[in-house]
Chains A and B, each alone.
Chain A
Amino acid sequence: MNSTQVLNAIGSCLARAMERGLGKNGLVFPVACQETEDDDCRNSCRNLEQIFAQMNETYRFAEALANGELKANVSRSNIFAMPLKALQASLRYLTWQTNQVADGDLSQHVDFLGEFSLSFNRMIESLREKDSLEQRLKTITDVLGEGVYLVDPEGHLIFANPEAERLLGYGFQEMAGELVLHAIYKQYADGTFFTPEGTQLVTAVQIGQSYDNDDCVFACKSGRLMPVSLACRPVITGGRLEGTVIAFHDITEQKRHQRSLQTINALLEKQASTDALTGIYNRLKFSKLLALEISRARRYHSSMAIIMFDIDKFKDINDTYGHQAGDSVLIDMARVINANIRATDIFARWGGEEFMVIATGCTLEQGMQLAEILRIRVAEKIFSVPRAVTASFGVSAFRAGDNEISLTNRADHALYQAKENGRNRVEAEDAAS
């Protein structure tokens, strides 16, 4: 082949490649070098053949790199592949750097890779900021006097702060990835078991709702049931439920305090409503109960009688036997009345030696009968003073339009009549008054 034929053959070969691409076989040098017409032409052809080979190799190398084959090789003498080798080295380094970042090494920095460097370094900055924020949050949760769990939407434990570990006794590592609520939230305060599924807390975690409970118990690793107050808040990122934060604290002390308060309140309530000497209701409590019973009688049109009674000549007892003996008589009087009224009747000390009974559901006649029984029991009773002790009784019954004062006044008036009529007797209210 002469030079012109060689050039034509190469020209056709290149034109085909430009038009159709390199294809599977790459650029095939179209001239058999040994068949060229002279040495110069042959040498040029050999150089060109080498260039073709290097271009083919470079193409394959570039293709391998494009496919992510970072360990691809190319011959050292290939002058076309040199920039690609630099790119290969950079990509291999970036691969290592990316793994480092994934392992938490945020000291990575990319230099001299143009916009990629800027992007990568910006990403590192952003991760550092996030890391710093996480560290700050971790520090906060570490020192927080509140147990904090973070669970995924299925309830698997993702994070526990030291206070949560301390309170419940479960180390984070032993519970990581576990359905933590199934382990700690399964009992009522009285120890009976329930299934966590379907509870408001577990449902809140699953559907990403806020939930608060000031009165539940968590089971500690030791088996102890710890009363806790908890707040549950969903973590939603970009509209997606990422998990839920459950913050809780031990309210054992609070509960104990609450119980003490309840005891004190009950005591105070008792003191406020009880006569200190006899232990029966005092006038204040009686007035409240009378108002209540009047309302009831008014509403249900039911009967109700009240019996007011007074120890006869109580002043003489006090003057003769002393106040202590008088107090004993009052105490015995309360006992004897208490023993002879129904459980539904209400008995109180009205003041001094005066007492009151509300005979619920009783008409005036029934009230009179009860008063008579009481009078007899009192008269029969042997008191601690060496003399007979009697009482006088006045009875009134609820009428439409009555209030506490009108009802009491009529009983008082009847009592007055009983005293006037000789004591130790029962008198009914004046039907006309």
Chain B
Amino acid sequence: MKKVYDFKWEDLGNLEEGRPNLGGETSVVVYRLMQFTFKDVFSKELGKEKTCELFVKAGLLAGREFCRNVLNCALPFDEFIADLKAKLIVLKIGVLQVEQANMEELNFMLTVSEDLDCSGLPIFGEAVCDYDEGFIAGILKEYTGKDFTAREIDCWATGDRTCRFEVKPVEK
């Protein structure tokens, strides 16, 4: 058995073949069940801070793979965002909105409504979309070739109705 696992897009399998009757979709509850139980177990094994860090890392990988395999990086920025937004809706991940975009400094204020990770959660008093943070940063890294950080400043779990992410390039 290998010591590490390297993710490949093909590992997601052939859903048409594998799930001819049930199809490629599942319920948000099942998705959240997996994510929050992972979070439970990881935080108890590794501590909450490390867990969040790992979720961000996983999200980053997912974002890059998603961008590479689902999106069209050749599009100009405006069209790329429009395409991303449409794909996120089709895949029922969330409703992406841009509140601010500074193309010179590459700073963005993005919101995701009806977010797969958190919309409808009880108020925990803290943002919970660590995976989303990584996912957004991963997409932008793949598109621009630059490292980004996405920090969730508003979340359903903090009492907001939309997740708001402050996205900026990593200062080196």
User: Which of B82, B114, B123, B159 has a CB less than 8 Å from the CB of A109?
Assistant: B82
- For A96, what are the chain B residues with a Cβ–Cβ distance below 8 Å? 97-101
- Is A295 part of the binding interface, using a Cβ–Cβ cutoff of 8 Å? no
Q: With A and B bound together, what is the CA distance between A93 and B81 in angstroms?
A: 13
- Min Cβ gap A58→B in Å is 13
- For B100, what are the chain A residues with a Cβ–Cβ distance below 8 Å? 96
Q: Decide: B162 and A109 in contact? CB cutoff 8 A.
A: no
- Is B113 part of the binding interface, using a Cβ–Cβ cutoff of 8 Å? yes
- Min Cβ gap B90→A in Å is 11
A89-B99 contact given A76-B160, A83-B161, A100-B78, CB 8 Å threshold: yes
- Is A77 part of the binding interface, using a Cβ–Cβ cutoff of 8 Å? yes
- Is A193 part of the binding interface, using a Cβ–Cβ cutoff of 8 Å? no
- Is B87 part of the binding interface, using a Cβ–Cβ cutoff of 8 Å? no
- A-facing residues in B105-147 (Cβ within 8 Å): 111, 113-114, 123
Q: Decide: B95 and A82 in contact? CB cutoff 8 A.
A: no
Q: With A and B bound together, what is the CA distance between A97 and B159 in angstroms?
A: 25
Q: Decide: B162 and A86 in contact? CB cutoff 8 A.
A: yes
Q: With A and B bound together, what is the CA distance between A195 and B14 in angstroms?
A: 78
Chain A 92-123, CB within 8 Å of chain B: the 1/0 string?
11011100100001011101100000000000
Q: Decide: B123 and A77 in contact? CB cutoff 8 A.
A: yes
Total interface residues on A, CB under 8 Å, equals: 23
Q: With A and B bound together, what is the CA distance between A13 and B123 in angstroms?
A: 31
Q: With A and B bound together, what is the CA distance between A76 and B158 in angstroms?
A: 6
- Is B34 part of the binding interface, using a Cβ–Cβ cutoff of 8 Å? no
Q: Decide: B159 and A93 in contact? CB cutoff 8 A.
A: no
- Is B89 part of the binding interface, using a Cβ–Cβ cutoff of 8 Å? yes
Total interface residues on B, CB under 8 Å, equals: 24
- For B15, what are the chain A residues with a Cβ–Cβ distance below 8 Å? none
- B-facing residues in A79-94 (Cβ within 8 Å): 79, 82-83, 85-86, 89-90, 92-93
- For B95, what are the chain A residues with a Cβ–Cβ distance below 8 Å? 111-112
User: Which of B82, B113, B162 has a CB less than 8 Å from the CB of A107?
Assistant: B82
- Is B164 part of the binding interface, using a Cβ–Cβ cutoff of 8 Å? yes
- Min Cβ gap A124→B in Å is 10
- Min Cβ gap B170→A in Å is 24
- For B111, what are the chain A residues with a Cβ–Cβ distance below 8 Å? 89, 92-93
A92-B99 contact given A76-B160, A86-B161, A86-B162, CB 8 Å threshold: yes
A90-B82 contact given A76-B160, A78-B159, CB 8 Å threshold: no
The residue on A at minimum CB distance from B119 is A86
Q: With A and B bound together, what is the CA distance between A42 and B100 in angstroms?
A: 46
- Min Cβ gap B86→A in Å is 7
Q: Decide: B97 and A90 in contact? CB cutoff 8 A.
A: yes
- Is B85 part of the binding interface, using a Cβ–Cβ cutoff of 8 Å? yes
- Is B79 part of the binding interface, using a Cβ–Cβ cutoff of 8 Å? yes
The residue on B at minimum CB distance from A87 is B161
The residue on A at minimum CB distance from B85 is A109
Q: Which of A75, A77, A96, A109 has the most CB of B within 10 A?
A: A96
Q: Decide: A93 and B160 in contact? CB cutoff 8 A.
A: no
Q: Decide: A82 and B164 in contact? CB cutoff 8 A.
A: no
Q: Decide: B159 and A76 in contact? CB cutoff 8 A.
A: yes
Q: With A and B bound together, what is the CA distance between A109 and B84 in angstroms?
A: 12
- For A93, what are the chain B residues with a Cβ–Cβ distance below 8 Å? 97-99, 111
- For A95, what are the chain B residues with a Cβ–Cβ distance below 8 Å? 99
- For A109, what are the chain B residues with a Cβ–Cβ distance below 8 Å? 82, 85-86
Q: With A and B bound together, what is the CA distance between A79 and B159 in angstroms?
A: 8
Q: Which of A97, A100, A107, A108 has the most CB of B within 10 A?
A: A107
Q: Decide: A89 and B159 in contact? CB cutoff 8 A.
A: no
Q: With A and B bound together, what is the CA distance between A109 and B78 in angstroms?
A: 11
A89-B123 contact given A76-B159, A109-B86, CB 8 Å threshold: no
Chain A 45-78, CB within 8 Å of chain B: the 1/0 string?
0000000000000000000000000000001111
A108-B97 contact given A82-B159, A83-B161, CB 8 Å threshold: no
The residue on B at minimum CB distance from A110 is B97
Q: Decide: B164 and A89 in contact? CB cutoff 8 A.
A: yes
Q: 15 pairs across A/B with beta carbons < 8 Å? A: A77-B159, A79-B159, A82-B160, A85-B161, A86-B113, A86-B161, A89-B161, A92-B111, A96-B97, A96-B101, A105-B78, A107-B81, A109-B85, A112-B95, A112-B113
Identify 6 new A-B residue pairs, CB closer than 8 A, beyond the known A109-B82, A111-B89. Answer: A76-B154, A76-B159, A78-B159, A89-B164, A92-B111, A112-B114
Q: Which residues of A contact B (CB under 8 A)?
A: 75-79, 82-83, 85-86, 89-90, 92-93, 95-97, 100, 105, 107-109, 111-112
